[in-house]
Structure formats: C-alpha cells, structure tokens
Amino acid sequence: MPDAPSARALWVCDLGLVDYDEALGLQRAVARARITGEIPQDVLLLCEHPPVVTLGRSSKAGHLLLPAPALAARGIALREVERGGDVTLHAPGQLVGYPVVDLKRHRQDLHWYLRQIEQGLIDAMAALGLPCARRAGLTGVWVADRKLASIGVHARDWVTWHGFALNVSTDLSLFDVIVPCGIADVTMTSVTRELGASAPAGPAVTAAVVAGVAGTFGLAALPVARAALAAEAPALPRPGAP
C-alpha cells in the first residue's frame, strides 16, 4: 500500500506512451475501484497517446473534417467515448491527465471540478512562466485567444474519469483534421510554441502539472507505480490489455 488510507493523497501514475484504448480501460477500472473503495485515494493517470481523435457526447458530425478511413491513412485512430465535450485530438508531445477523483471527498459539483482542473493547469503554467487564463463560457485553458489545454470529463457515483490534454510539444498541424472542441476558427497552441527556446523540458512540465492539480484539490502528490495500483485492485487490466 503506497500510503495510509487516512492521508489525503493524490496517487500519480505515469504510464508513458500508451495506446488510447488501453488507457481508457485502465481509467475505467481505476474508477470502479475508487467507487468500491479498493483504491482508497484519488488517482492521476498521466500519459501520452499515439495520434487519436476522440468524440465526446456533444460532438457534431461537421466537427470531424475527415472520415475514419482518411484518418486511418494518416495514422490517426478514431474513438467515440462517454466524456462530455466535443471532438478533440491526442498525439505525442501532449501531456494527457486522467484524474480519478472521488468528489464526495471534495465537493459534489462537476462545474466546480472543471474549474479546479483549469486552475491547476493555470497554476502549473504560471510556475513555468506562461500566463494562462479561462475564457468565459469555454472550458479549457487559454493563452490570450489561443487554446493550450482541452478538458472533458465523465463521472459515476461522483467519481470522475477522462480529464485534460495539455499541448506541450504537440504537432499542432494534426488539429487540422477536426474543429477542436467544436469551436470555429480556434487556434491551438503549445507550451513550446508560446515559450520558444525557453520552453522547459517535458519532465519539468509534468512536475508543474502534478503540483498544480494536487494543490488545487488540497492533496499531497505521491508517485505510484502501475503495479502498486494493481496490488490495491487486482482486477485492473495488465499492461497491454485494452
């Protein structure tokens, strides 16, 4: 057991580059284990994905600009998922975070939860010297009128999964296959594009994001290996399983 159940911690599990289906299966299983109490702490799964477009519950057909075969020809997978929000894209160079948070320990309000995720990322970017903000009526994190991070979540029994995608050094041209988040004429940006030569390396960005997200929920971040999660909840899928 990584720590005592009475301590308010955020277990942080870095999966590295992992297939989207595998990560989705894992976060669903972690959420089930969080609901049952097998996993006694909130969890943040971090990863990168090979190129994949995901369609949330609010996706509009016109926001996907290429059909599935054309996407596949470019090496981009397509998935429909249960999260809120419209269409988005994941690709290498993007830090994807899946917080599995029991809101019964915090505040049973998904709008509050979204604002906390935004604030955690805003705080992280501020620590790296990149001022960011919210935009009224639009979920996500912005640098002026340019979108840096997208957020889409789902919850059951007040336990969340899905989460955020922060463009660190992502190939932004990949976003040309969609209308990102269903926002017409949006410009996507990245930490690297905004900070140029002064952009921090990936591990520094990850560390700042972990600190920001843990801090906004009043939790102590604790690194946890995937094997340690499986020790708490033996039903979790093994690496490589969808």
9-17 and 42-48 as β-strands: parallel, antiparallel, unpaired? parallel
Q: Which of 13, 47, 132, 181 is catalytic?
A: 181
Query: What is the 3-state secondary structure of 13-49?
Result: EEEEECCHHHHHHHHHHHHHHHHHCCCCCEEEEEEEC
Do 88 and 53 meet the contact criterion of CB atoms below 8 Å apart?
A: yes
Gap between the Cα atoms of 86 and 23, Å rounded: 19
146-156 and 138-143 as β-strands: parallel, antiparallel, unpaired? antiparallel
Question: Counting beta carbons within 10 angstroms of the beta carbon of residue 138, is it exposed (0 to 12), middle (13 to 18) or buried (19 or more)?
Answer: exposed
Is 108 in a helix, a strand, or coil?
A: coil
Is 13 catalytic? The answer is: no
Gap between the Cα atoms of 119 and 217, Å rounded: 10
DSSP string across 146-192: EEEEEEEEEEETTEEEEEEEEESS--GGGGGGB-GGG-TT-EE--HH
Do 153 and 113 meet the contact criterion of CB atoms below 8 Å apart?
A: yes
Handedness of CA 107, 111, 113, 115 (dihedral sign): negative
List residues with catalytic annotation: 181
